[in-house]
Amino acid sequence: MTPSSSIPTPVTPRRSFDLLAEEVPNPPAIADLFGLVAARPGSSLLDADPWATNHWRATCFGYDPFLTFSAKGQEITILQEGRLRRLTGDPFRHLQTLLQQFGDITPVREFPAAGAIGYFGYDLRHHLETLPAVAVDDLGLPDCVIHFYDLLFWFEPGTGRLLVTSSGLPLPPGTDRERRARERLQEGLDLIRQARMIARSTPPDLPHTEAPLESNMSKAYYFKALEAVLEYIAAGDIYQANISQRFATHFSGDPWALYRRLRTRFPASFGAYLHCGPFHVLSNSPERFLLVEGNRISTCPIKGTHPRGMTVEDDARIIGHLRRDPKERAEHVMIVDLERNDLGRICQVGSVHVEQFETIETYHTLHHMVSTVAGILEEGIDPIDCLRATFPGGSITGAPKIRAMEVIDEVEPTARGLYTGAIGFIGFSGAMELNIAIRTAIVTGGRIYFQTGGGIVADSSPTREYDETLLKAETFFRTLGVGVGFGR
């Protein structure tokens, strides 16, 4: 799509209570538009590959949040219009109360229209279950960071349409909120006008780094960890556990430039870029965690991975083997059953069902086996209730979930932090869409960290599982120009 030289004649904004929305046809490229605000702390992008089988319902971004909610352990920080409040307690409960304060916004068409974007780190599990915390939290980043937006940009995958929505929050309903909504909508249109004046840019060619690539586990340590997990499985203590290793290297470049290169080379179904002030999040996730639309909820666990072949014939053979592989299928069935159980905690009796089973999705470097589990929510269940019932996702913990998380903490040397948590959007009207934070990097303190893992079952081969972690890290290896063949 070639951007035109001027913004099209605007259509009359459609008002839905206190929400203004304006459609802009033939918008500028998403990377060019978001690139104008990517350097601002608090900017967030949920980035869909429109050609993928499953993806974000819409590419969405916001900047200049009117409120930022973050938590570390029991310590909660709320930053609103320059004022800082500190609270203590359960972050899920405080966030739930905060979201409900802005629930008077009605969605526009199929878009949630107004809401928050951010992440929920894996270690929020401590607020849901009594679990050990042996692994070292060496990065010390917040357990969650959620940005609340009054101005959002929505791109419909595949159609090229853009909708800009403005709510006027956090002002209360009335003339002042309407005035703020119109002013902010105009700011959004001005940003689009500015992007149209910029020639479509290409991702920069990042320099190859000679910095060594490190892991939080040596190969021998990883094998020892898997031996311990296999002993637990043989004893009947668990059936499956997802074990990961974390890679790190020096990085002093522009995180947005790195993400642009990543999304161009390896577009993801559920990509994301979050500027969280002193650190950045770059997600290349292929997996949907939760989608809440009205009273319907669904989850799409991934379990089962094989590498891509060199030819179409190779791929067909590999996919056939993946479908028939007893180890991969057993692993997949266990997690589908776990997800059915999790959804059953918040859904109407008899409504939870498997919509799609063992579908194969193909990406640049690998094939994945995916299923979709869905149900109808009980009356009065909101997004945070859904999160409490299902977090963290079963596909990246194991079965049974609580015991698997105890084993993970025992054998992985460093706390997971954001990794295998969730990133996404929570609408003030009750909609929600989250990914599983896999294939996800953190840039902080002049270094970049990214973590990959796999499900361990009774007949897992340590060598094969180790190689799978390298395969899943390959998108970052290639984008950074380091570590291809690491550990082999």
Give tens-digit pLDDT for 158-209: 677 899 999 999 998 888 999 999 999 999 999 999 998 886 666 666 655 6
* CA angle at 368 for the pair 469 and 310, rounded to the nearest 5°: 80
Determine phi and psi for 434, rounding to 5 degrees.
Answer: -130, 145
In the predicted model, what is the mean pLDDT of residues 457-476? 93
For residues 437-459, average pLDDT: 95
Q: In 10 A of CB 471, how many CB atoms?
A: 18
Task: Express as a percent the part of the chain with pLDDT over 70.
Answer: 90
Q: What is the three-class DSSP state of 440?
A: strand
| Confidence grade of residue 2 (pLDDT, cut at 50, 70, 90) | very low
Query: Does the pLDDT value for residue 15 go beyond 50?
Result: no
**253 class by beta-carbon count within 10 Å (0-12 exposed, 13-18 middle, 19+ buried):** middle
pLDDT top residue among 209 and 30: 30
CA–CA separation, 245 vs 342, rounded Å? 26
More confident residue, 308 or 239: 239
Rounded to the nearest 10 degrees, what angle do helices 383-390 and 91-100 cross at? 160
The answer, yes or no, to whether residue 134 has pLDDT greater than 60, is yes
Distance CA 248, CA 30 (A): 29
**Weakest mean pLDDT among 162-166, 288-292, 328-332:** 328-332
In 331-479, DSSP assigns E strands to 353-362, 366-376, 398-399, 422-427, 432-436, 440-444, 447-456
Which of the four pLDDT bands, split at 50, 70 and 90, describes residue 110? low
Among candidates 326, 403, 340, which has minimal Cα distance to 373?
340
Region of poorest pLDDT, from 356-360, 397-401, 417-421? 356-360
Cα 289 from Cα 120, distance rounded (Å): 12
Catalogue the active-site residues. Answer: 287, 303
pLDDT at res. 203:
64
pLDDT confidence band for 383 (50 / 70 / 90) = very high
Of 437, 365, 431, 432, nearest to 395 by C-alpha is 437
Q: What is the DSSP letter of 82?
A: T
Contact call for residues 136 and 217 (beta carbons, < 8 A): no
Q: What is the pLDDT of residue 14?
A: 42
CA-CA distance, 405 to 106, in Å (whole number)?
A: 39
- pLDDT reported for residue 112: 60
> For residue 275, what pLDDT is reported?
98
pLDDT number for residue 6: 34
Longest Cα pair distance anywhere in the chain, in angstroms? 69
